[in-house]
Each structure stands twice: as C-alpha cells, then as structure tokens.
Structure 1
Amino acid sequence: MTDKPNILMIMADQLAPQALSFYGNTVCKTPHLDRLAAASVVFDNAYCNHPVCVPSRASMMSGRLTPAIEVWDNACALASGQPTLAHHLRHLGYHTVLSGKMHFIGPDQLHGFEERTVTDVYPSGFDWVADWEAGPAFVPSATGLNGVVDAGPAARTLQEDFDEEVAHAAVQTIYDLARRGKDAGPWFQIASFTSPHTPFVAGRKYWDRYDPDEIDLPKVGTLPFDDLDHASRALFFAHGRHRHRVTEDDLRRARHGYYAMISFLDDKVGEILAALKASGQADNTVVLFCADHGEMLGERGMWFKQSFYEWSARVPLMVSAPQRYAPRRVQDCVSLVDLLPTLVGIGGGEVSLPCDGESLEPALTGGATRDLVISDYYGIGPCVPYRMVRQGQFKLIYTHNHPDLLFNLKADPDELQNLAVDPTHDETLQRLKSILLDGWDPDEIDQQIRTSQAERLFLKTTPGTPEDWDFVARIGDETRYVRRGSGGVDGTKANRRLPKVEPIAAHFPELSQEDVAAIIAGRVTLPSYLSEDRQDVGNS
C-alpha cells in the first residue's frame, strides 16, 4: 500500500449497528459485510453527531459539531465557505467523487466533490424546516408510522431503484478510475445508499431470505407513557404514535423488512468490493463503512431516530486496510466528526483549520483515542436544545429545562436506570455536564435556532416559484425520486412501490397541538384509547 492510498467510503442510511451480525445480531444476514468486518478495525462505540440525516452528514463532511456550522435540522444549508473532507483531500492530490445520497441543502450541491454521479433522493430546499413554535407534533416531512404498519414485501421499491443506481455508478467509477493508471494519483469516493431507511419494504428476493418465525422482538418493550422522559414523550407525537396502533404482527413485519433491506444493501456492498478487487485496486484502497445514524426499530416502543438512546445514536463504523491496519475491535467512544481528521491523516496530511474531531489513526494502529463523543439534536419533537455526551461507560443526555438522564452503559446497556437521580453518581454527572456545557449555552442556542427557523420559514413561504436546487444527474430523475411528492416521505416512497398498496389509515383521531403540549407536560393524562387499548408489544 502506498503512502497515499485510495479511500472508499460506503455509507448506509438509518442503519443501527445492533442489527448487524458483526455487532452481535443473530438474525440479520450480511455475508459481505461480515467478511469486510473480519478484515477491519471495527469500532464498537461509534456515534453520529446529530441523529438525523442532513445535520449528521454536514457534521461528518465538515469535521465540526452542528452548532459550529449552524446546521440545525433537515432544511439547513451547509455554508459554501465551510471546507469539507472533499476539499481537504483535494489539497492532498485526491480526485473526489460522490455517488448517491448526501442530502445537501441549498445551491451548493458539490461541497468540494469534483463529480456527482447519481441524483440525490431528497429535496434540497427549505421544504423540511423544523418549527418549534408549531409544537412537538409538527413534522414538515409528514413522516409517520405508515412506514412501520405498511411494512411488507414488494416486487420493487423506490429505494431499491435508487440504490441499484448508486451501486452501478460506484462500480463504474471504480473501473473508470482504474483506467487512469497509477500515475493519475489517488482517489476518494463516497458510495451513499438510502437503505435501510423507512418504509420497511423490501423486494421479495430479500424478504424471502428470512423465515418470519425467526424475526426477533425488541429487547426492551414499549414503556408506559408516564415513564418516558420529555424528549421521548415529544417524539411519541412527532413520530405519529398517537395515530397508529402497532401490533406484534406489525412489529415483526417491520423488523423483517428492515433486515431484508440490510441484506439487499449487503449485496450492493459485495458488488462494489468485487469491482475494487477485479480492477486491481483492492490492495491500495482503504475501505470505510458507516451510517449517518441508527434506527430504534421498536426498542422501548420507539421508531426512527432523533433520540440519543443507543439504537438511534450509535452507528456502525469499520475501517479495512489489512496491509496497513491489523483487524481488531476498538471499545473507545468515537464519532463521525472524527472521520475528517482521520482520512486526512491517512492521505498524508494534517488539519490546520478548525475541527471538532480527533484522528482515529492511533486506534487503527493499536493505540487509544480521547474516548469522547458529543452529539446534538435540534429538529422535530423536543423543541428545546437537546445534547448528549458519552465518555467511557457513562452517557449523559441533557434536555434543556428538563431532568437529566445518566446511564452506565456497561452495567445497564438497555438504558433503564437513570443514575442522575442517584446522589452517589453526582460527581460523574457534574463532570460530564461540565464537558457538555463547555462553550455551549443552551439559551443562546435556543434563540439561534428559533431565529433560523423563522428566517427559513419566511423564505419557504415567499410567493412565487421556489428556488430549485435539486441535484439531478440524468433527465427524468427530478420526478423519479422523493423530492416534493404528496403524502410526505413515506407516502411518496409507498406510491412508487410495486405493486402499489393502499396506506393504512390512522387508527386514532388526531390531537390538537394544545392537547399534545398538555399531555407531554403532564397537565392531562394520555387518552384512554392510547394508554389502555393500544395493544402495543411490551404493554401487557
């Protein structure tokens, strides 16, 4: 391997490491990822820095925590003046290519990449601005539990269409780059998929890889509403749990679909790695696999992301270059913000500009890291600044103006015992809170976010034709993918499912924002049809 190896980053969307066999799952089938993991340095405690797509990816690409770049939600633009990983690697002589989803918002759809080979799947405008003034149940993308209760097999899905293109473009790029010859310099490519993001619908080929009787149930069942923390109560409504009943059958089908989508993704990874080997570039390429955030998958009765519980905030992360790094497992806490300085270091450079990450190169060669993660969340749901710090075995979750949550993940991996109320852990609580609050003023952050939301909502509602910044790689893609379809994200994806299915109507009546706020605050109780008759798994 040369001093400047090629770098291939393969990225999944909404993939929880707990669903993968090389992280201990006994159901999901991923032979290609398993072989890659066996030849990799695998990070067992890797986290995203913001558990939702746009901010997580902006943070990863910039090497900055989201408050530093003011990317608060899924309708915030990363400033064109912000250097990214692609810019850094170009300074080191790398040719940079992006194949697939990155969900850049605004007119800059490259952010340092010299090539983009695939149309992005989501809108690049201010369509999905969070609005804290509208309350916890406001969801600009209209996402709800239809992606769960409508789970099942299909002949073909929109996400399979997209991810087939991502894999094809990534493979073609690998061969095109090999044709340049060794003297052309190193390359960096991101192949970014949309699987296994909701809705949990998979092609029959992958659905049939699993026996329904093999599908496991969540380790932690649905928790009583009165026992939920503020953020979880808010997400209960933001995720539409007050509109749909999720039965055990729904739960098993959703998890079945999720595993099947991961197996589909695994095959795409196998195609890319096969092309890397066939092109003669495998021995001189560092391969990295990760995701932008996790998926709760019914744990605690919760779905999707936007939470700091482990299934939402943790991500898979492995780096494979056996001739350079001996395969091993790393227990230190790391995060996606660490990837920029790591890959710049692998490329032979150093980061001289502001950066919140720390290189993982010492861990790749058997050493230690700073063992620290900070993650933020400022999107739908809680409507207050929400932050997490993890160091060693302890995790602190801070929800502004609400009780703290402190967990010992070594003793309590399911996060069921809040140690913040235990005086014997006060020293740990105060130490982590000092780290969390260092340079971060929640009142100031709250004002910045509300001002940003108001400005972007003003732009979004300006009369006339809105700006069209969507990146389109080929004619017709502007209407093929999610973009601004009616019915929200999951509704648009379902409309492109073959054969089409009629979405399951809401089981329960809608609640007003005033009722939602009163229920979250505990001023009134949850309606009886939600607390007594839901028939959710874990409420027996």
Structure 2
Amino acid sequence: VYDNANEIASSLPTMAHFMRAQGYQTFLCGKMHFIGPDQLHGFEERLTTDVYPADFQWIADWSAGPAFVPSGTALNGVVEAGPCIRTMQEDYDDDVAFQASRKIYDLARSEEKKPFFGVVSFTSPHTPFNVAQRYWDLYDHKDIDLPAVPEIPFAALDYFSKALFFAHGRHRHSITEDHLLNARHAYYAMISYLDEKLGQILDQLDETGLGDNTIVIFTSDHGEMMGERGMWFKQCFWEWSARVPLVISDRRAAKNIRIDANSSLIDLLPTFIDFGGQDMASLRPAIADLAGHSLMPLLSGDASAAADCVIADYLAIGPCVPCRMVKKGAYKYIFTHGQPDLLFDLEADPDERVNLAEDASNAPIVAALKKIGMDGYDPDMLINEIVASQRRRSFIAKVPGKKPDWDYVAFQGDAERYVRRDGVDTTKSRLRLPRAVTIPPDLPEVSSTMIDRMMRGEIDFQK
C-alpha cells in the first residue's frame, strides 16, 4: 500500500482473520478507508458507513512532483479554523459512538458469550479544524500555546519538508498568529470531544459488566504537525506527525506502567494474537510472515525484551521518491532517496533541530541505523513499482462510463452525508453548519516550473 488509493489484497490475512482463528467474533465500527470491492477484510460485520470513498480517487501522482496538491491538503482547514454549530466529522463520530454503544449492549445481553474483537474508529481530531461551540468553550483562547518550534525559512528546509511545503499548499495561504491559535484551539477542543466519546465507551463496558474482561487499546494512525516548524497535517517523520498515542488497559495486568521503548503499530497484531491466548500451532505458518514484535513482555514490566526499534516508510505525495525512517533508542535516521541523510538525537534534541548527519564523527551511528533498516531496501525498484501502480490505477479511474460502486454504505442516505466524489475539502466545507465561507489563496500563483526551480535550490520561496 503506497497511498490512500491502494487496495489491500483479499488474500492478505488481517488482524480480524487472526482473531477469528482464535475463536473471536469480530466487528468494525467507523472509519477504515478500505479501497476496492473487499470492504470487510476478515471482519464479520461493519456497523457504519465509511466516511471516505472506496474507489481510486486519492492516487498520488509522482509525475506531477510536489506541485500536486490533492483535496484534503490545502490550508483552508487551517485558515478557516474555529468554532461552529456542527461539522460533518461530528455527524460521523456521533454515529460511530451510537453504533458502538448498541453493539456493546448486544454483546452484553448475548447468551453465547463468545469473546469479541472490535475496532471503533473515529475521525476526530482531524483537519479541518472546526468544532462545536461547547467543546471550543472548554478552553480559554488566551491560554492556547503557539508552536514550540517556529516556522523554518524555506531555504533552510530539508528536501522532504520543501516538497510537503508545496504538496500541503503552503505556497497558497499566509498563516497568521490568529490562524495558528484558532487551529490549535480547535484541535484541543476536538480532542476533548473524542475524549468524551471514549469515556462513554469505557463507562458502558463497566455498566454492562464487560469492563473487567475486556482489554482496551487506544491508538491512532498518525499525529498532527499543528504549525510546528511551520508545517501542518501529517505525512512526514517529524515527531509531531509520526508519533501516536498507545494506551493499553488490561485490568488483569500491572497498572501505571509507562514504556519508553520505541514501538510501532505493526507490533499490535502480534500483541493481539498473544492476547487471544489460544493454541498457536495452527497460526504459526501465518505468524511467521508477520513483521513486528509482541508487546506482551513489556506489559509485564520486562523492558529488556524490547526491540526498541521502529522502521516507517512514506511513499505518497510530496517528495515523490522513497522515504524511510529508522528509529532506535534515542536516534532517528531519515532517508530521502537522492538527498542528504538526516540524523537526530531525540534525547538531546527533542525538537529535531540539529542534523547530526552533517558531522562526519556521527557516521558510525548512521551506518548502524542503515544496517538495521536499509539492508535489502531497494529504492530504485520501489520507484518503478510505485509509478507503475499509479499509472494502472489512474487509467482505471479515468475510464469513461459507470464508476465502480465499492463504497460501504450501512444505512440509506449515508453516501450523501459523507465524503465521496466531491472531494474532502468541498464536502466538509459544504456540510459545516453554518456553511463555511471559503477563504481564497492570498499568495500569488506559483507555476510547476517555478516549484521545480525552488526544489532544486535555484531560487528561494519568498512570501
């Protein structure tokens, strides 16, 4: 999977298959953004419509370079940030919470008492940064903080960040301090909105008697730059974007353990399998193909068992070349194909301001991290595979005639309530109450030729 318009093969076992193999019933409630005709991928039921489209709409286009600014990455979600009466994201998340609540009651009243594995997936907090007034009012605007790292001048950015500068539409809008404060205020409020939903689920598990025998894992698919370094959204390896929450609550286990070792979302599936606790003989052939390491030893307090290593890839919009991060201990190495290496010591430099790779004395650290994460990594082969995939999917998406109807729709009318062919920005703006007044770009238009020259360092971007 290279970008948000890639399908997962139905022949690939997922966490839902593994849990069903151990005797669990499975359900999916909320956003999952599956692409293609398989909208279950092992889950026995979906309780809600998906908020995003399932066809080949959001294909990254490396032939367009960083000038390719798809829907959902323009800065309108930032410059139009603030309170409102209602958002489409709240419509969706309220439905997710209701369907999850009803499912929990159904599980509690079931006589079968079969163990369950459920995913409840909300959209909040997420751009555009708008939120209902009552959550906005939980915070005093004068207490909202500005980014810890101010905007970095374009000429001083690394290649990856320069590419996202254009792919995220930062060349279209000026961002003022008011924009920063409004967006960050709304983001905090959206977190409080989500926190309320999570509290309701936890209370309901206790109310129904399921709480003592249910493991709850809270995590996310990405972070949010929120103006740090002048950047927004995600899609990069800086800590604000790449780091996600991971909280595991198991009442049978030790309490209040904070694990500082590096771990990854790919560690969750091996952990789920261990949680299942069934005979592993039948699963071993499939488990052998899994990346990641079970977190079970860490949850018992054995920090010595930690792999303490994360490898992450980025292959979508912006740089238009393979990018990889390797993090081991406090050191983070960032590879951008064809560009200078980046190395940071997160313990000494948590804001990632000093590139240690520029100092030749740190070459052994770079070499050690490359050995961990770059052996067998072939960026040139990846480029060929990715570009071929983009061409195939783009060809299918542009074929005239009836488009494929792959969207998962649980209830009549849902297809009109959420994001489909109108695009992310247009749909979320149209469904905001009151309807958003679109703020047009205030900066001069920049041609793709000029962007190419700026990326090559021939000219600087001056607002």
Normalised-by-shorter TM-score class: over 0.9
* Pair 1:166–1:398, CA change in 2 (3 A): same
Q: For structure 1, which segment, 374-383 or 430-439, has the greater mean C-alpha deviation from structure 2 after superposition?
A: 430-439
SS in 2 for 1:328: coil
User: 2:230 pairs with 282, 286, 301, which one?
Assistant: 301
1:82 aligns with 2:82: no
1:21-67 residue CA offsets vs partner (Å, 9 max, x unmatched): xxxxxxxxxxxxxxxxxxxxxxxxxxxxxxxxxxxxxxxxxxxxxxx
1:418 aligns with 2:418: no
The 5 A counterparts of 1:17-416 are 71-141=1-71, 143-181=73-111, 183-349=112-278, 350=280, 352=284, 353=286, 354-368=289-303, 369-416=306-353
Alignment-mate amino acid for residue 324 of structure 2: R
Give the structure 2 partner of residue 525 of structure 1.
460
1:508 aligns with 2:443: yes
The answer to whether the 8 Å contact 1:286/1:319 transfers is yes
Task: Tell me by how many angstroms 1:127 deviates.
Answer: 0.3
The answer to whether the 8 Å contact 1:130/1:139 transfers is no
1:330-362 residue CA offsets vs partner (Å, 9 max, x unmatched): 010000000000011011144522101110001
The answer to whether the 8 Å contact 1:405/1:420 transfers is yes
Give the structure 2 partner of residue 458 of structure 1.
395
- TM-score between both structures, scaled by the size of structure 2: 0.97
* Structure 1: distance between partners of 2:190 and 2:253: 32
* Structure 2: distance between partners of 1:78 and 1:449: 15
Task: Tell me by how many angstroms 1:142 deviates.
Answer: 5.1
The answer to whether the 8 Å contact 2:31/2:121 transfers is yes
Alignment-mate amino acid for residue 218 of structure 1: P
Alignment-mate amino acid for residue 409 of structure 2: V
Aligned-pair identity in percent equals 55
Task: Say which structure, 1 or 2, has more relative contact order (CA 8 Å, 6+ apart).
Answer: 1
SS in 2 for 1:112: coil
1:84-122 residue CA offsets vs partner (Å, 9 max, x unmatched): 000000000000010000000000000000110010000
Number of residues paired by the alignment?
455
* Structure 1: distance between partners of 2:298 and 2:144: 35
- TM-score between both structures, scaled by the size of structure 1: 0.83
1:352-407 residue CA offsets vs partner (Å, 9 max, x unmatched): 22101110001011113111100000000000000001000100000000011000
Unaligned runs of 5+ in 1: 1-70, 531-540
* Structure 2: distance between partners of 1:403 and 1:78: 32
Alignment-mate amino acid for residue 114 of structure 1: E
Alignment-mate amino acid for residue 8 of structure 2: L
The answer to whether the 8 Å contact 2:346/2:352 transfers is yes
Alignment-mate amino acid for residue 397 of structure 1: I
The answer to whether the 8 Å contact 2:3/2:60 transfers is yes
* Pair 1:195–1:142, CA change in 2 (3 A): closer
Alignment-mate amino acid for residue 500 of structure 1: R
User: 2:428 pairs with 493, 518, 533, which one?
Assistant: 493
Q: For structure 1, which segment, 319-328 or 394-403, has the greater mean C-alpha deviation from structure 2 after superposition?
A: 319-328
Task: Tell me by how many angstroms 1:523 deviates.
Answer: 1.6
The answer to whether the 8 Å contact 1:127/1:141 transfers is no
SS in 1 for 2:118: strand
* Structure 2: distance between partners of 1:506 and 1:185: 55
User: 1:471 pairs with 402, 405, 408, which one?
Assistant: 408
Task: Tell me by how many angstroms 1:463 deviates.
Answer: 1.0
1:422-454 residue CA offsets vs partner (Å, 9 max, x unmatched): 122111100101222122111111111011011
1:179-234 residue CA offsets vs partner (Å, 9 max, x unmatched): 113x5320011110000110000000101111110100100000011110001000
* Structure 1: distance between partners of 2:316 and 2:394: 14
Unaligned runs of 5+ in 2: none
Task: Tell me by how many angstroms 1:167 deviates.
Answer: 0.6
SS in 2 for 1:267: helix
